[in-house]
Amino acid sequence: MILYIRALGFSVYDTKDKAEILVATIIKDSTEKKIWEADDHERNVEYYKTFGDGFGLMIRGTLNQEDELNVHSLLPYSLGKHVTDIHEVDVVKQSEQEIYHASVKNLILERLSHFSFKT
Q: What would the 3-class secondary structure string for 1-21 be?
A: CHHHHHHCCCCCCCCHHHHHH
Cβ distance 20 to 2 under 8 Å?
Answer: no
Q: Answer yes or no: do 25 and 69 share one domain.
A: yes
In this prediction the pTM is: 0.66
CA geometry: angle 76, 79, 85, nearest 5 deg:
130
What domain range is 104 assigned to?
Answer: 86-118
In this prediction, residue 48 carries a pLDDT of: 93
Long-range contacts of 109-117 (CB under 8 A, 24+ apart): 109/84
Q: Answer yes or no: do 34 and 65 share one domain.
A: yes
In this prediction, residue 11 carries a pLDDT of: 81
Q: Answer yes or no: do 21 and 67 share one domain.
A: yes
In this prediction, residue 76 carries a pLDDT of: 86
Q: Residue-wise pLDDT tens for the chain (119 aa)?
A: 555 677 777 888 888 888 889 999 999 999 999 998 877 778 999 999 998 888 889 999 999 888 899 998 888 888 776 665 555 666 666 666 666 666 666 666 666 666 666 55
Q: Answer yes or no: do 46 and 17 share one domain.
A: yes
Judging by DSSP bridges, how do beta strands 86-93 and 32-37 pair with one another? unpaired
Q: Answer yes or no: do 60 and 114 share one domain.
A: no
Q: Answer yes or no: do 44 and 9 share one domain.
A: yes
Q: Answer yes or no: do 60 and 90 share one domain.
A: no
Q: Answer yes or no: do 74 and 107 share one domain.
A: no
Q: Answer yes or no: do 27 and 52 share one domain.
A: yes
Q: Into how many domains does the chain fold? A: 2
Q: Answer yes or no: do 91 and 74 share one domain.
A: no
In this prediction, residue 50 carries a pLDDT of: 92
Q: Answer yes or no: do 63 and 95 share one domain.
A: no
